[in-house]
């Protein structure tokens, strides 16, 4: 059984105390059992006692660093090439660790704030919703039209221009087909002008508006009214788009003024009793109106409506408080 020299790896017999190849003295060699690996122990002093030619192999060459330096002369030298690979691995690990550390610090100091991005000069959060908004902003062009709304003003009421010579008030008569001397269907502007010439300026003139079914007009009709005291005249737009005289209402609730003292063709007027009404017209019937209460109706021989209006009661002592023309709804469409 034999060992090998730690310097030149030469074969040493169990009985030899020195290497037969390089002459290295195994001064501190001890025998432990029979040639086991623990039998030989190398020390620094034993290596330094090696011949110079072998010690030269252990010295690093600064011009050709094939081996790495080590403080332990017993350690096996590591080739520089292998050392470079280990440094590359360490560098990658260090870079990963540094990246994680920097990212954690940024998140720590930034809190829950989402990062922002600037697109076309607009800074926005880069959340999913914000990203969708930014994409829509960069791909869609919206044109904005600015509309200037004029200040709200109150328009002056319409005026009526007098036309022709005055008509004596005694010549005005209320009938089933008009307000004499005017007939239903006459031009609206001419009727207003002649009334203004005869009764002075009207107490009230409304703007033309869309009907809600009031004053006997049809729902959706374009109509206009003018009032002189207790007398209201009604104009309606016909099927040709022209305003025509369409009806009237004489009602004591419109004004405290009694003018004009207009009566029907048969001389019935406001304030007359129901007894007078029945003696003036042979065919009178009564109904209850949901808005006006009891009303009278003067009908012709064929049952057509001629005049109607409210009364205080249907008793003979009741009074006539209004005289209305038939409703104009459907007459001029």
Residue 221, domain member (yes or no): yes
Q: Which of 22-26, 91-95, 216-220 is predicted most confidently?
A: 216-220
Residue 126, domain member (yes or no): no
Tell how many helices (H) and how many strands (E) occur in the chain.
Answer: 6, 17
- Give the model's confidence band at 325: pLDDT under 50 very low, under 70 low, under 90 confident, else very high: very high
More confident of the two residues 118 and 319? 319
Residue 332: the pLDDT is 86
Among 305, 295, 261, 263, CA closest to 280: 263
- Give the model's confidence band at 15: pLDDT under 50 very low, under 70 low, under 90 confident, else very high: confident
Q: Where are the alpha helices (DSSP H) in the chain?
A: 44-48, 52-58, 80-110, 128-139, 188-199, 274-280
Residue 273, domain member (yes or no): yes
Residue 286, domain member (yes or no): yes
Residue 235, domain member (yes or no): yes
Residue 176, domain member (yes or no): yes
Residue 77: the pLDDT is 52
Cα dihedral across residues 159, 165, 166, 168: positive or negative = negative
Instruction: Name beta bridge partners: 205.
Output: 226
Which range marks the domain in which residue 293 is found?
169-324
- Give the model's confidence band at 96: pLDDT under 50 very low, under 70 low, under 90 confident, else very high: confident
Give the percent of the chain with pLDDT over 90: 48
Return the ∠ at Cα 210 (arms to 204 and 214), rounded to 5°: 70
pTM: 0.55
How many separate domains does the chain show?
1
Residue 90, domain member (yes or no): no
Residue 278, domain member (yes or no): yes
């Amino acid at each position: 059984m034999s060992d090998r020299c730690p310097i030149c790896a030469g074969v040493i017999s169990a009985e030899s105390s020195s290497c037969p190849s390089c002459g290295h003295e195994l001064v501190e060699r001890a025998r432990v059992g029979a040639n086991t690996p623990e039998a030989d122990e190398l020390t620094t002093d034993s290596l330094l006692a090696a011949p110079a030619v072998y010690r030269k192999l252990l010295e690093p060459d600064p011009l050709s660093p094939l081996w790495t330096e080590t403080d332990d002369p017993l350690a096996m030298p590591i080739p520089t090439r292998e050392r470079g690979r280990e440094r590359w691995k360490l560098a990658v690990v260090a870079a990963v660790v540094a990246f994680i550390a920097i990212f954690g610090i940024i998140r720590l100091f930034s809190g829950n704030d989402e990062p922002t991005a600037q697109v076309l000069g607009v800074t926005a959060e880069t959340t999913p919703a914000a990203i969708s908004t930014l994409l829509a902003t960069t791909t869609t062009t919206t044109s904005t039209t600015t509309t200037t709304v004029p200040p709200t003003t109150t328009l002056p009421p319409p005026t009526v221009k007098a036309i022709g010579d005055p008509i004596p008030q005694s010549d005005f008569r209320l009938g089933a087909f008009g307000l004499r001397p005017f007939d239903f269907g006459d031009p609206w502007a001419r009727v207003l002008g002649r009334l203004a010439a005869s009764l002075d300026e009207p107490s009230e003139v409304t703007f033309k508006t869309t009907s809600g079914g009031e004053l006997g007009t049809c729902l959706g009709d374009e109509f206009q009214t003018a009032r002189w005291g207790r007398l209201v005249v009604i104009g309606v737009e016909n099927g040709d788009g022209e305003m025509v005289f369409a009806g009237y209402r004489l009602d004591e609730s419109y004004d405290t003024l009694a003018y004009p003292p207009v009566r029907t063709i048969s001389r019935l007027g406001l304030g007359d009793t129901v007894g007078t009404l029945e003696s003036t017209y042979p065919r009178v019937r009564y109904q209850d109106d949901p808005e006006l209460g009891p009303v009278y109706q003067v009908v012709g021989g064929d049952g057509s409506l001629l005049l109607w209006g409210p009364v205080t009661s249907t008793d003979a002592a009741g009074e006539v408080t209004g005289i209305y023309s038939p409703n104009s709804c459907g007459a001029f469409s």
